[in-house]
């Protein structure tokens, strides 16, 4: 029974090219994400990417003690299944490389709830967008890979599960008190997102990962300053 932290990332973004390696306080965005996730107990740490991105991202992965796994560019579901088999992982903590403020605290707690309830797929509702992770069983991914035919179910590795709640046990608890801010956004897709993240890090970063409660407090202060 092995748990793997798998970070899905590639450098092919069109809205914000190579966003995963953009600098934030002198460290790449993806390294901030990996550094935060090292605070989550796991047997395997790996970046899951495509062949075009692998050589550049492997440098970042090695710096944080992550392995690099290369899989299909568009079939992300198959990429995850191949990685599960490669590393003999039974449970995946799934994160994405555009979230430098991913929360180890939230990841540890949803992993605990997931295991306690023997779920197939779990994630928190209401935490700032970009701080959460999904926890998913490898067997559920294998089932999805055998049956999913819609391109959207291949491009997004858990979409098939969400579309079949009658077949999979899916847990969606509300985020813990102090980490609940559904309107807050800290994922990085656009130049505007990147500018916001830079402001948050300038305000809060002191050399260690920033937790979700501090992110929520920052948004509350910003809303107060702007009369919200």
Query: What one-character DSSP code corresponds to residue 210?
Result: P
Query: In which band, very low, low, confident or very high, does the pLDDT at 13 lie, cut at 50, 70 and 90?
Result: confident
Cβ neighbours, 10 Å, residue 124: 24
Domains of the chain: 3-225 (3.90.550.10)
Q: What pLDDT is stored for residue 182 in this prediction?
A: 95
Largest CA distance in the chain: 52
What is the arithmetic mean of pLDDT over 10-26? Answer: 91
Q: What pLDDT is stored for residue 223 in this prediction?
A: 77
| 128-175 residue pLDDT tens | 999 999 999 999 999 999 999 999 999 999 999 999 999 999 999 999
Chain center to CA of 200: 19
Query: In which band, very low, low, confident or very high, does the pLDDT at 185 lie, cut at 50, 70 and 90?
Result: very high
Where do the H-state alpha helices sit in the chain? 29-37, 51-63, 76-87, 104-116, 138-147, 151-155, 159-162, 191-204, 212-225
Nearest C-alpha neighbor of 137 from the set 171, 102, 176? 171
What is the arithmetic mean of pLDDT over 190-211? Answer: 97
Position 228 pLDDT exceeds 60: no
Q: What pLDDT is stored for residue 227 in this prediction?
A: 60
| 66-89 residue pLDDT tens | 999 999 999 999 999 999 999 999
φ/ψ (deg, to 5) at 144:
-60, -40
| 37-76 residue pLDDT tens | 999 999 999 999 999 999 999 999 999 999 999 999 999 9
Burial of 39 (0-12, 13-18, 19+ CB in 10 A): middle
Q: Find the distance separating the first CA and the last CA of the chain, reported in whole Å.
A: 47
pTM metric for this prediction: 0.95
Rg of the chain over all Cα atoms, to the nearest angstrom: 17
């Amino acid at each position: 029974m092995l748990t793997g932290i798998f970070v899905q990332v590639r450098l092919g973004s069109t809205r914000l090219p190579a966003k995963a390696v953009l600098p934030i306080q002198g460290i790449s965005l993806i390294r901030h994400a990996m550094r935060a996730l090292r605070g989550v107990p796991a047997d395997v740490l790996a970046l899951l990417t495509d062949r075009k991105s692998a050589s550049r991202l492997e440098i970042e992965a090695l710096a944080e003690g992550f392995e690099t796994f290369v899989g299909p560019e568009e079939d992300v579901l198959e990429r995850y299944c191949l990685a599960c088999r490669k590393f003999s992982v039974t449970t995946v903590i799934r994160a994405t490389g555009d979230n430098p403020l991913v929360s180890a605290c939230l990841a540890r707690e949803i992993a605990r709830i997931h295991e306690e309830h023997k779920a197939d797929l779990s994630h928190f509702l209401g935490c700032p967008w970009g701080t959460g992770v999904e926890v998913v069983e490898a067997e559920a991914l294998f089932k999805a890979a055998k049956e999913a035919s819609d391109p959207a179910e291949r491009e997004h590795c858990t979409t098939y599960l969400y579309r079949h709640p009658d077949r999979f046990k899916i847990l969606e608890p509300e985020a813990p008190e102090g980490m609940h801010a559904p309107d807050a956004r800290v994922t990085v897709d656009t130049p505007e997102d990147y500018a916001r993240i830079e402001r948050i890090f300038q305000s809060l970063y002191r050399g260690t990962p920033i937790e979700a409660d501090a992110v929520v407090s920052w948004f509350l202060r910003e809303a107060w300053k702007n009369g919200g």
